[in-house]
Each structure stands twice: as structure tokens, then as C-alpha cells.
């Protein structure tokens, strides 16, 4: 057993403790996990976990990308496609260029291909560290949709750029036409393979029943897309993203009794994988720092300046990109809902945290050239990449809550949040009215007993009465009080069921079935809670 079990206990304990601490203080969990990893690595008496670098790209990353694509909003993505692509493609290219130029100036011995490879590695953003903060503070939907869409697409563009730059380093040959054709081939085959896997996943979701089986098949999809694309010489990352998009397009194929549990299973998986990635960043950072200092004097200053370049490039690109296209095209301005708020643009500029994708790209660098020689400057590129990840994670991540409060963007999102929930309440009422109309039609067509009709009508009346009449805080208190009392009644029912179990009047199986129904009812209450946004 060796150190495996103690290491596993420490890893899971660190993830649990840091996540619990993040709920109580205004620091994103990824920042705390990276800090915990650093502390762990500096404790010589503790076992240090090791992850095969290739596993980060081939095992950890596919399900993370697939989950992001799976839960993405098609409507939001289509509406704000222009700013998403402008960030995911334009900003990635601009970051590669800026980092490449600065890296070559700071490290003259680093070849141009290696400089641009470094730029490609640190170009994709990671929203994991900022999503929880933005969601909790109810930032306007436009900002969160664009940031989420950017992170999803730039994973593919950044890694595709890193792959092409790696080929140039390996071969020592740069031909613009050849690189362009390679880009088209790698991206095109990746899209085709991803679409095919996504359609296969949607078909499986339609015919297969059973949550456990569906979860196993849903986990096969990202790995199959990645493997098939990589085997065909295409972009595995792009294939995974496209597969997730196509599968989410037909998510309603999944049986209702499985959909909730499937979402929950994927949430737990993504939580653990992301936590492991950020913990690993902290564990690796001190060792990389010590090695780099020994090999390249002044490397810390270079890493700091390249990190500053990454952050500055985002600000330089985002501001003109947010306003210039809309100023030039009134039609585009109408489609996207007018000019964005300057405060939201500043927030988007700040959310340039790097994370899992940059880590995977850095660790996936080959160890040797085809000639058998060591891959040039691999350790230096790895250290600078780790430095950019850590500096943006800690610097931008720690400052995000304060920036959100200083900008006051939560105030901008308050009215939008209320309107969204009011439209949701109206939709629920209309759906219930449509169901009652359907019941009337069924009553006319079939011979239904009065008892059955009466029970069905009572069920719908209860559901209608559970919806609040208003989100106004004064009127909403009545609904909130009713919800709180319902929870107390469910708790009392739960205690009584346990009393019956203790007295031997029901079996464990019966208790679990009753408790599951109570859990679903309480979860339904939580899902229908509509809270106003604090200013």
C-alpha cells in the first residue's frame, strides 16, 4: 500500500478543507487549493503525490471541457458569438504575439518558435477560479455568458496554437502556408470527429435508460472524441468541445428520472478534477521555482514581466474590442443589446486567470526532439507557464471580489436577475395552465373518475400556490415564510420516519424510499426559491 492511501487521504482532506474554507471567506477555492499545495510541498515529512504529466491532458482535461460545453447555453453563445470569438480567437492570437515578443526580449537565447509556444500555452483563460464569485454576486448575464463562452472556445484555439508551435520547435521549419493548411486540417477534422461523437452520444441518451449506464456512456464520449481526434492527427480538445455542444443540443433525450442525477454526478466529477488540478499547481510550483533559479539567473523577474504582459494584453485588447465593432455596426449593436457597461468591460478585462488548460499544455510538451536531443528550453517554458498560472490565479483571483464590489456590477445585475425570475415564474404559471387545459381535454376524451380529476387538480393548485406573486422584498417575505415552514414540516416528517424505523415498524428500504421523496421535495423547494440580490 505504501504511501498511496495516506496520500489519497491527504489529497481528499485538503480538497474538502479548502473548499469548506472558501465558503466562509471571500477567496476562491482554487486560490486556497494552490496555496495548500505549496504548503504541502514545503513539508518534507508529508508524502508528495505525483501525476504523470501526460495524464493531465489526456485524462483530466477531456471531461472538464466536455462538461463546460455540455452545460453551455446555446442561446447566449449564439447571441454573443461576436465578442466570444473576438476574445477566444483574436485575443489568443494577440496574447501569443505579445508574450512571444516580450519573452524574446527578456530571454534572447530563447528561439522565436519557443517564445510563441510559451505565448500559446498561457493564452487560454480558466473561469473556474472566477465563476463562483461572479455567480454568488449575480454579475449581469451578458458578462458571465461572454466569459464562459470565451473560456470554452479559447481552450481549443490556445492548445491548437501550442500544438502547431511545438511542431515548429520539433522540426525547426516555419512555413506560413504549411502552418495554415495544418491549422485547417487539424481544426476541420477535430470538428467533424467531435460532431460525430456528439451525435453518437445523443443517440445513446435517447435509447439507453438507467442513470449509472448513462453516466458511464457520457464519460466515454469526451475520451472517445479526444482519442479519435488525436489518433487522426486532429485537435482532440476541439473535438471534445464540439462533442459536448452537440450532445447538449439533444439533452432532452435523457430520461427525466436520470437527468437530475446525471447532472449531479458530473458536477461532483468536475469539482474533484478541478480541485486536483489547482492542488497540483501548488505542489509543483516550489520545485519548478528552485530548478529554474539554478538554471536561469533572473528567471523570476522574467516570469513576473511575462505575467504582467499577459494581464496587460487582455486590457489592451478588450476595451477597443468591446466598443469599436458596435460603434461601426448599428445592426450588431441592436443584436447584442447595445453597448456594454464600462464596469462590465473592466470586469471582463480582470478575469484573465490561467489554470487547467495552460497547465495541461505545459506538461504535455515532449521531452525530446526526433533526433533524440532534449526538447529545448522545456524546463524554462514550464517554469514561466507555472509562474503565469500562479500569479494570475493568486493576483487576479484574490482581487476579484474586491473588484466586483468596487465596480458595483452586482447592482447592474440586480434588476436583470429579478426580471429573469419574474419571467420564469410567469413561464411556470403558463405551463401549469397548459397542463390544466390538457387535463380538461383528457377528461372530455376519456372516462375519468371524479376522484382522479380532483386529485390532479389539487396537485396543480398546490404547485401554483407555491409560486410567489412578486419578488418585491416585502411581499416576497410571505412566500419565504411559507417555504421555511414547509422545510420544518419535512424535517418533522423525517424525524418521525426514523422513529418508526427505530421501533421496527418499517424496513430500511422503506425508510430510504420515503426519505428520497422528502429529499426531492426539499430540493424542489430550493429550486423554486427566488431571492432578491443584495446591493
Cα–Cα distance measured from residue 417 to residue 143, given in angstroms and rounded to the nearest whole number: 13
Q: Where are the beta strands (DSSP E) in 129-277?
A: none
- The single-letter DSSP state of residue 392 is I
Is residue 283 over pLDDT 80?
A: yes
Mean pLDDT computed over 202-217: 89
What is the C-alpha to C-alpha distance for residues 383 and 114, in angstroms, rounded to an integer? 13
Q: Which CATH number fits domain 4-407: 1.10.3720.10, 1.20.1530.20, 1.10.1200.10, 1.10.580.10?
A: 1.20.1530.20
198 pLDDT more than 90: yes
pLDDT, residue 103, reads 93
Give me the pLDDT at residue 240, please.
Answer: 93
Predicted TM-score (pTM) above 0.75: yes
Beta-carbon contacts of residue 408 (< 8 Å; ≥ 6 apart): 343
Express each pLDDT in 454-503 by its tens digit. 777 777 777 777 676 655 554 555 556 667 777 888 888 888 888 888 88
At 174, the pLDDT band (50, 70, 90 cuts) reads low
Specify whether the CB–CB gap between 376 and 111 falls below 8 A.
yes
3-state SS class at 494: helix
What is d(CA 190, CA 242) in angstroms, rounded to the nearest whole number?
8
User: What average pLDDT is seen over the chain?
Assistant: 82
pLDDT tens digit string along 2-39?
577 888 888 999 999 999 998 888 778 888 898 898 88
CA distance 106 to 190: 35
pLDDT at 226 over 70: yes
Confidence at residue 535, expressed as pLDDT on a 0 to 100 scale = 36
pLDDT-derived band at 227 (thresholds 50, 70, 90) equals: very high
- Residue with the bigger pLDDT between 320 and 412: it is 320
Tell me the residue ranges of DSSP E strands in 349-402.
none
Question: Is residue 524 over pLDDT 60?
Answer: yes
Q: For position 383, what pLDDT does the model report? A: 87
Amino acid at each position: 500500500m505504501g504511501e498511496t492511501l495516506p496520500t489519497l487521504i491527504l489529497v481528499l482532506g485538503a480538497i474538502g478543507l479548502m473548499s469548506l474554507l472558501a465558503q466562509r471567506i471571500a477567496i476562491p477555492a482554487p486560490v486556497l487549493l494552490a496555496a495548500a499545495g505549496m504548503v504541502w510541498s514545503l513539508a518534507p515529512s508529508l508524502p508528495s503525490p505525483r501525476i504523470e504529466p501526460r495524464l493531465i491532458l489526456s485524462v483530466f482535461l477531456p471531461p472538464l471541457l466536455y462538461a463546460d460545453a455540455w452545460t453551455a447555453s446555446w442561446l447566449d453563445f449564439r447571441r454573443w458569438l461576436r465578442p466570444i470569438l473576438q476574445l477566444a480567437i483574436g485575443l489568443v492570437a494577440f496574447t501569443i504575439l505579445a508574450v512571444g515578443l516580450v519573452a524574446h526580449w527578456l530571454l534572447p537565447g530563447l528561439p522565436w518558435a519557443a517564445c510563441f509556444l510559451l505565448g500559446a500555452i498561457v493564452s487560454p483563460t480558466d473561469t473556474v477560479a472566477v465563476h463562483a464569485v461572479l455567480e454568488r454576486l449575480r454579475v449581469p448575464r451578458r458578462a458571465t455568458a461572454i466569459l464562459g463562452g470565451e473560456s470554452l472556445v479559447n481552450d481549443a484555439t490556445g492548445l491548437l496554437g501550442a500544438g502547431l508551435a511545438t511542431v515548429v520547435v520539433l522540426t525547426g521549419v516555419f512555413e506560413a502556408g504549411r502552418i495554415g493548411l495544418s491549422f485547417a486540417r487539424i481544426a476541420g477534422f477535430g470538428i467533424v470527429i467531435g460532431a460525430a461523437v456528439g451525435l453518437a452520444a445523443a443517440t445513446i441518451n435517447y435509447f439507453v435508460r438507467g442513470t449509472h449506464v448513462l453516466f458511464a456512456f457520457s464519460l466515454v464520449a469526451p475520451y472517445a472524441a479526444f482519442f479519435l481526434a488525436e489518433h487522426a492527427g486532429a485537435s482532440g480538445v476541439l473535438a471534445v468541445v464540439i462533442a459536448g455542444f452537440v450532445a447538449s443540443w439533444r439533452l432532452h433525450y435523457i430520461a427525466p428520472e436520470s437527468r437530475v442525477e446525471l447532472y449531479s454526478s458530473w458536477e461532483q466529477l468536475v469539482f474533484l478534477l478541478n480541485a486536483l488540478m489547482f492542488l497540483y499547481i501548488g505542489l509543483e510550483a516550489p520545485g519548478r521555482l528552485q530548478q529554474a533559479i539554478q538554471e536561469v539567473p533572473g528567471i523570476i523577474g522574467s516570469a513576473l514581466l511575462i505575467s504582467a504582459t499577459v494581464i496587460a494584453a487582455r486590457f489592451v485588447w478588450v476595451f477597443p474590442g468591446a466598443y469599436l465593432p458596435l460603434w461601426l455596426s448599428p445592426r450588431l449593436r441592436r443584436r447584442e443589446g447595445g453597448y456594454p457597461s464600462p464596469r462590465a468591460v473592466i470586469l471582463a478585462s480582470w478575469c484573465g486567470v490561467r489554470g487547467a488548460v495552460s497547465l495541461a499544455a505545459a506538461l504535455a510538451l515532449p521531452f525530446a526532439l526526433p533526433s533524440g536531443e532534449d526538447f529545448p528550453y522545456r524546463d524554462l517554458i514550464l517554469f514561466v507557464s507555472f509562474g503565469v498560472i500562479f500569479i494570475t490565479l493568486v493576483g487576479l483571483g484574490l482581487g476579484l471580489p474586491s473588484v466586483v464590489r468596487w465596480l458595483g456590477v452586482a447592482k447592474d445585475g440586480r434588476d436583470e436577475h429579478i426580471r429573469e425570475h419574474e419571467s420564469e415564474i410567469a413561464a411556470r404559471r403558463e405551463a401549469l395552465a397548459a397542463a390544466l387545459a390538457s387535463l380538461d381535454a383528457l377528461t372530455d376524451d376519456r372516462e375519468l373518475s371524479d376522484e382522479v380529476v380532483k386529485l390532479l387538480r389539487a396537485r396543480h393548485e398546490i404547485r401554483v400556490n407555491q409560486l410567489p406573486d412578486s419578488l418585491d422584498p416585502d411581499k416576497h417575505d410571505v412566500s419565504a415564510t411559507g417555504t421555511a415552514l414547509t422545510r420544518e414540516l419535512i424535517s418533522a416528517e423525517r424525524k418521525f420516519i426514523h422513529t418508526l424505523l427505530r421501533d421496527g415498524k418499517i424496513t430500511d428500504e422503506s425508510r430510504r424510499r420515503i426519505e428520497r421523496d422528502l429529499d426531492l421535495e426539499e430540493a424542489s423547494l430550493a429550486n423554486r426559491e427566488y431571492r432578491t440580490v443584495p446591493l
